[in-house]
Structure 1
Amino acid sequence: MKRTCLVANTSNMPVAAREASIYTGKTYLGQFTNFHTPTFILVILVMFFYWRTGITLSEYFRDMGYNVAMMADSTSRWAEALREISGRLGEMPADSGYPAYLAARLASFYERAGRVKCLGNPEREGSVSIVGA
């Protein structure tokens, strides 16, 4: 049985009112279930943590044997959020005021994509694909 999952932030609302949407469904039925989780937190924390939450949920579905496509919108906004956080923490800035660890954070995020053989029974494979914009 083929299974797919799409994790995306589909809202055009301001950053503070964005919603994370998780679409799951079975390809042979063509049906999708939509779960909405409103995020009414500080703008900085939303931008910093919604990618981490999205990739963690993607890995969860991958481990269940789904093929997951994650749409990571606004890499530049995430970088701006990291710059804001590091500035408030008093960290030494690098190029253009961004934190020196920005490249490492982006790399550690995108390195979580890939295909795996899941542990346990029944034997299954899952994958995570990340599309960044």
Structure 2
Amino acid sequence: MFFGEYEHAIDDKSRLTLPARFRDAMAGGVVLAKGLDGSVDVYPRATWEMNVVERIGRLDPLLPDTRLLQRHFFGGASEDTPDKQGRVHLPAALVRHGKLAKEVTVVGNYDHLEIWDRAAWAERLERIEGSADNVAQRLAEQHG
């Protein structure tokens, strides 16, 4: 399980060092993809297959919404294997998608990591903290 926030920097070769505590889970390879909220998501390869490919791949390709979602996730995705220092390469298209500057925050989100521009994450976190109580209550009522 991935959790916590980690401040990192993207180097001049567009590489990001993954947080040390997650390197073993990512050592077998990762898939980097566009996140739905403007982040760049990093999945262990097996998790990507189970949680993204399985779910989105079985949707009806004749529906326009399916094609849109598949293009979003699969069209911009990239595979990599972390090097000995735990670094992965961030393709230019994903850096643009996430509007990533040099300073980023890596956020654990259950089954994957999210890479956020540090300033954008601070702004997003402020909104999350302002609405988390209401969201938790709505979810409890739906699934209670």
TM-score (norm 2): 0.24
Higher strand share: 1
TM-score (norm 1): 0.25
Higher helix share: 2
Comparing both chains, which one has the higher relative contact order based on Cα–Cα distances under 8 Å and sequence gaps of 6 or more? 2
